[in-house]
Homo-oligomer: A and B are copies of this chain.
């Protein structure tokens, strides 16, 4: 007979595990397989097992953390602990040391462990898969796994052999029976009720003793040459031993060994193997998590049943049944605790994901811009959706579309939906277009709190002439103590008043600290509402008697025009958003010194109101591919692009890990496609000069969307008016208008070239476009330096219609790029304006009004001269004059006014008075809306 030493085999298994870990650590230093053991209560035997497991792990360089919990812990508290560990990516294996105190239900607790971390293999997922023929359990329970390794070590051929298992526990008997059966042995399971146990065992080629009865299996039971694996761990009295007891197995070792070919000793047999297999299960879990983290997202497309003629947007949206958003997130590799669901089809993603994805390379970054549009829009959003639907639902490449949240104003006013159209949309359409997750509402609340705080502070300072009574009210005694708030302490530091105790300030210090002396005429912050309410454009406030005549003229903007929205769009983190909010200038005091949100003491409250808004929102396209919807700043007085934080997050999600040895991406990375409002000369230029300056990102390609319709209008065809039917020049072939109109396309291509980024021209095809017209556009585009010029039919065919565009984009993003900003931020405000007008718009020079010049000088004096700048003008011409189509040259660009968004970090110049809150038209979108009793919304889109 041969002694089958578990100790030796266990040793080699642990060493092999250790070597493997060192090897991986070479390439990935932070690879650290970690096991957590929860021990509830302090049973001595459990403590010994736990210590054994701790020691074995340490030996093989596997981290092992023991969490001892009091025996009286409640089930709900223990379940909470387990769910936190399930969500902790640093823990790969979790084991609940059994048995548990009686008040805790073993099945509930063991099944609460994430079956992907269930290194004990007791979870019903793993037990169920183990029992199934061809099942795929994540882990095999340690002791049975150890037994199989021992059999393997003894080169025992199991196929066709008779195996008898004594014992049917879930920890050993049942699982080892399944393993042997799946290894094609003929297995018999004996147990306490088995009658002729000796006779049954006598036919066994392999005997597994796991019945928990000391030295139960006798030698006459054993067939000559059988293999005996003894799992028993029994303490029997032995006065010869110091401890008064010795450890024996379930087999009468001394007598049985003679008849066996192989037999495991106790101790030193299965015991050490159990612990060794635990260590290898933990390593297996860590390696799996590692491979998982390197995997590129696998997006399963939703099938699209195309109809023609193309039904209405809402009918298409309703005909599709979207994936539950959990599935969209899972496919992107987002863990459940990084996701906050908002209903079934929307969710917010937590910025903690950045820590986990830190080591990832970014994916490819694609910007979709447009030529100078007509009032009907040229389909940038549908092209963005069509492109990602093509990339992910047809070319199997992971991609995410990052778009802006639409304002309720236009949705209920004129436009209806803003989520693409036809077979290229975000769904469900109504959830996208109404409240989404409340980000715009949160900005309204934060902005209006600030406005109220400013006016009320001026009112209090005006009505409380006496400094000390005002100061007593400003820093009141509460429950007997008077204390400065943190924001007051920061203000004291700024004023170099190094005092903690409010009562210690001198009258001069009280005056300097308490009085903000805001000059009402300099206040730049206006209240906001997300509704097209023209009557609030200019109002007089404070007319009630209680306001004692302190009236003031001000007005409301549409919420998406507020500086807070721009800050939400440009901040890379919650921390940066808080800083930008604090820096917002709300006006000046009577010495013309800027007054900030921090001075008012509002930074914390505004940040608290926007705490959830900074988390990007996840939705999906019609073909089930992921979309991020975050921030929606106005396109004329602000940057008109979705958020930096969503782009940073999406680029990591579709990005690829780098192989540290050759520094090359392990996989071909995925694509993030985002948009810039209006045309490239406006939205595109700001995207580069403001958004990229803040994000540090640079697009790999620009898709320039053009339509025959817009090019004809640039070529001299009659004006296009929304709501009225198109003049016939647009619906019949007319090469001449197109040939003249392409000048605008060529100019926009040149504009993109100035930034050194490859261009793909996407002709958003309409049924009425003729092939000849398309060819003219393609030729002009390629001549002007576009890498590709393709037509795209996504409105009619979804992703299928944009496959050619997708291929073109994939190529273009491989081309080299030499990016540079249009201007140096440190040049003068006038020079910056001039370079935009000359290089982007084709104008000759700028002409600054006296009022604008005064503003420019103030900003320079206040140290805000080195900020990037955007120009608010009409989007219907490259120039400031909407009637100048095509490519106007040599015009003088008027600068009427210059305003500052210091928190958002840019100035904006106005070519003409810009409406910052639209009005409702005589017939407005809201009039057609109906809701049935199941909450289905008709008539809005």
Contacts and interface: CB of A to CB of B under 8 A. Distances in A.
A783 interface: no
A442 B531 CA distance: 12
Contacts of A607: 929, 931
Interface string A508-549: 000000000000000000010111111111111111101100
Contacts of A342: 340-343
Interface stretch (A282-290, A468-476, A757-765): A468-476
A721 B9 CA distance: 79
Nearest to A436: B438
A608 B923 contact: no
- When all copies of this chain in the complex are counted, the total is 2
Nearest to A197: B186
A77 B159 CA distance: 42
A922 interface: yes
A98 to B, nearest CB: 14
Contact of A444 (B321, B441, B920): B441
A445 B612 contact: no
A545 to B, nearest CB: 8
A160 B194 contact: yes
A495 interface: no
B608 A434 contact: yes
Contacts of A195: 160, 186
Nearest to A324: B83
A650 to B, nearest CB: 21
Interface in A479-501: 479-480, 485-488
Nearest to A74: B303
A549 to B, nearest CB: 12
Given A541-B536, A543-B540, A923 B575 contact: no
A933 B571 CA distance: 13
A212 interface: no
A611 to B, nearest CB: 5
Contacts of A475: 923
B476 A923 contact: yes
A427 interface: no
Given A124-B125, A725-B479, A920-B453, A940 B608 contact: yes
A75 interface: yes
A309 interface: no
A49 B574 CA distance: 60
Interface stretch (A214-222, A597-605, A687-695): A597-605
A924 B343 CA distance: 35
Interface string A645-657: 0000000000000
Nearest to A456: B920
B178 A480 contact: no
A190 B186 contact: yes
Interface stretch (A26-34, A129-137, A696-704): A129-137
A390 to B, nearest CB: 18
A552 B535 contact: yes
Contacts of A267: none
Contacts of A937: 604, 608, 611
14 contacts: A80-B323, A181-B191, A185-B193, A186-B195, A187-B189, A412-B449, A455-B533, A456-B533, A485-B927, A537-B547, A544-B555, A546-B915, A546-B919, A604-B930
Interface of A: 74-77, 80, 83, 107, 123-133, 135-136, 159-160, 162, 168-170, 173-174, 178, 181, 184-191, 193-196, 200, 300-303, 321, 323-324, 340-344, 348, 408, 412, 430, 434-435, 437-438, 441-442, 444-445, 448-449, 451-453, 455-456, 459-460, 464, 470, 473-476, 478-480, 485-488, 527, 529-544, 546-547, 552-553, 555, 573-575, 578, 601-602, 604-605, 607-609, 611-612, 624, 723, 725, 915, 919-924, 926-931, 933, 935, 937-940
Given A76-B303, A539-B541, 7 more contacts: A123-B128, A135-B170, A444-B444, A534-B546, A604-B937, A605-B940, A611-B935
